C-alpha cells in the first residue's frame, strides 16, 4: 500500500505538476520543474534518513534485482572474495550473481533452519571486499534486528522490503539499495545510498550506466531517469516526515506486527514461521494447522476484499505484508478473520 493522500496528490500531478499546467509524465527531465522535484526528493530522503554529505543519494532505473549483478560488477574483482549473509531467496539470488564475478564466502546461513531465523554469528573470510546482507527477507518473513556486527569490510545492504520502516543505521555501510515498490513508491526504480569513498573504489571499465559513480557524479541524470518514480518517492518520504519520521514509523510498524504475532503465538491453529528475535515487522509469515484451513481462510479473506495473503509461491502458507502505509485497522481485521478459524 501507498498512503492514500500521496495517491491523490499524484493524481493531480499527472495533470498538473506544482501548478505548472503540465503533468509529471510530460515535463522534461532537464526542465526546472523536474529539477525541483529531484532536489526536494533527495532533500527529503536526506532529512528523513539522517544521511550526511559523505553519502550520495541516487535513483537507478529498474528494481532491486539489477543490483545483485551491479554490486559485484562494481566492487568485486575476479580474484577477490565477498562475504554474504544468507537468509533466504533474495540473498540466494544476490550470491548467484556475485559468483559469476568472483568468490563468494557464505559468512552465515539460516538454510538449515528453513530460513526461520537470522543468524548473527557470522564467520568472515580473511579479507572480503564487502559484506552483503538482506535486511528484510520478504518471502520468509525475517528481518535483521540490527546490521551485522564486526564486519571487516563495508556493508552492502539490500533493504528493498524494509527501507524507511525504521531508522536507517548507516554506520559501517558502503551502500544500501532498495527497490522502491514496497515502502517508497512505484516499481521499476530503486533508491541507492552510497558512501562516496566506497563508490570511488568501483570498477571504471564498466559501461557508465552500470557504474554507481555515474549516478553519484551526474545526480542520477546521465540519461532520462524515471521522473514519475522520483516524484512519487518524494511525496511518500514527505509523508513519512509528516508522520514523525522513521522513529515514529518504527513504533507504528512494531505495534502493528505485534498485534499479529501475539495472536499467532497464542493460537493453536496458526503458527508463525519466523522465530522471535528474527521476525519481520513488514512481512508476517505463518501456516495454518492444515492446508484446508489455509484455503478456507484465504477464500473468506477474498470475500471480504482482503487480497494478497497467499504466501509466496516458493514457500506456501500465508503472508501478511504490512508495509509502512498499511493501517493498524487492517491488521485488526486480519486477526479477527483468523480468529474465526481458531
Would you count residue 143 as binding ligand PMP (CB under 6 A)? no
Q: Find the binder of ligand PMP among 17, 37, 48, 64 (CB under 6 A).
A: 64
Integer Cα distance of 113 and 275 in angstroms: 10
What span, in angstroms and rounded, lies between the C-alpha atoms of 94 and 216? 23
* Phi and psi at residue 321, to the nearest 5°: -95, 115
Site for ligand PMP contains 280 (CB under 6 A): no
Least distance to ligand PMP from the beta carbon of 187, Å?
6
Residue 245 in contact with ligand PMP, rule: CB under 6 A: no
Q: Judged by CB under 6 A, does residue 179 bind ligand PMP?
A: yes
Q: Assess 158 for contact with ligand PMP (CB under 6 A).
A: yes
What is the greatest pairwise CA distance in the chain?
60
Examine the residue annotation and report whether 239 is marked as an active-site residue of this protein.
Answer: no
272: β partners: 286
DSSP class of 203: -
Place of cell 572474495: 81
Burial class for 58, CB neighbours closer than 10 Å (0-12, 13-18, 19+) = buried
CB 137 within 8 A of CB 90: yes
What mask, x for binding ligand PMP by CB under 6 A, covers residues 159 to 178? Answer: -xx-----------------
Give yes or no: 270 in active site: no
Q: Which stretch binds ligand PMP (CB under 6 A): 14-22, 62-70, 112-120, 331-339?
A: 62-70
138 sits near ligand PMP (criterion: CB under 6 A): yes
97 interacts with ligand PMP by CB under 6 A: no
Q: Which residue, 318 or 338, is less far from ligand PMP as judged by CB?
A: 318
Total number of residues binding ligand PMP (CB under 6 A)? 11
Q: How far is the CB of 42 from ligand PMP (least distance, A)?
A: 21
Task: Tell me the residue length of the chain.
Answer: 342
Q: Do residues 70 and 130 lie in contact, with contact meaning Cβ atoms separated by under 8 Å?
A: no
- Asked if 63 touches ligand PMP (CB under 6 A), the answer is yes
Q: Which is nearer to ligand PMP, 187 or 269 (CB)?
A: 187
* Cβ burial, residue 121 (10 Å; 0-12/13-18/19+): exposed
Selected catalytic residue, list 83, 162, 182, 256 = 182
Q: How far apart (Å, rounded) are the C-alpha atoms in residues 169 and 57?
A: 15
Which residue's CB is nearer to ligand PMP, number 138 or number 278? 138
Q: Does 214 interact with ligand PMP (rule: CB under 6 A)? A: no
Task: Write out the catalytic residue numbers.
Answer: 90, 158, 182
Amino acid at each position: 500500500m501507498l498512503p492514500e493522500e500521496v495517491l491523490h496528490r499524484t493524481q493531480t500531478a499527472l495533470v498538473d505538476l506544482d501548478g505548472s499546467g503540465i503533468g509529471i509524465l510530460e515535463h522534461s527531465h532537464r526542465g526546472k520543474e523536474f529539477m525541483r522535484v529531484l532536489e526536494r526528493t533527495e532533500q527529503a530522503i536526506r532529512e528523513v534518513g539522517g544521511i550526511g554529505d559523505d553519502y550520495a543519494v541516487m535513483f537507478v532505473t529498474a528494481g532491486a534485482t539489477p543490483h545483485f549483478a551491479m554490486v559485484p560488477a562494481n566492487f568485486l574483482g575476479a580474484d577477490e572474495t565477498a562475504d554474504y549473509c544468507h537468509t533466504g531467496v533474495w540473498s540466494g539470488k544476490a550470491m548467484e550473481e556475485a559468483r559469476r564475478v568472483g568468490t563468494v564466502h557464505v559468512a552465515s546461513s539460516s538454510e538449515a533452519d528453513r530460513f526461520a531465523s537470522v543468524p548473527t554469528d557470522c564467520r568472515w573470510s580473511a579479507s572480503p571486499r564487502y559484506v552483503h546482507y538482506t535486511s528484510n527477507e520478504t518471502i520468509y518473513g525475517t528481518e535483521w534486528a540490527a546490521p551485522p556486527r564486526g564486519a571487516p569490510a563495508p556493508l552492502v545492504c539490500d533493504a528493498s522490503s524494509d527501507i524507511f520502516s525504521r531508522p536507517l543505521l548507516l554506520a559501517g555501510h558502503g551502500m544500501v539499495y532498495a527497490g522502491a515498490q514496497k515502502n517508497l513508491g512505484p516499481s521499476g526504480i530503486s533508491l541507492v545510498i552510497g558512501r562516496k569513498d566506497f563508490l570511488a573504489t568501483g570498477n571504471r571499465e564498466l559501461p557508465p550506466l552500470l557504474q554507481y559513480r555515474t549516478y553519484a557524479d551526474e545526480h542520477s541524470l546521465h540519461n532520462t531517469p524515471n521522473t514519475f518514480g522520483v516524484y512519487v518517492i518524494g511525496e511518500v518520504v514527505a509523508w513519512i516526515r509528516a508522520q514523525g519520521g522513521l522513529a515514529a514509523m518504527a513504533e507504528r510498524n512494531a505495534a502493528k506486527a505485534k498485534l499479529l504475532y501475539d495472536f499467532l503465538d497464542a493460537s493453536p491453529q496458526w503458527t508463525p514461521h519466523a522465530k522471535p528475535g528474527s521476525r519481520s515487522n513488514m512481512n508476517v509469515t505463518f501456516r495454518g494447522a492444515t492446508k484446508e484451513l489455509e484455503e478456507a481462510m484465504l477464500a473468506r479473506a477474498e470475500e471480504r476484499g482482503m487480497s494478497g495473503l497467499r504466501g509466496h509461491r516458493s514457500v506456501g502458507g500465508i503472508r501478511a505484508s504490512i508495509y509502512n502505509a498499511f493501517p493498524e485497522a487492517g491488521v485488526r481485521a486480519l486477526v479477527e478473520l483468523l480468529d474465526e478459524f481458531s
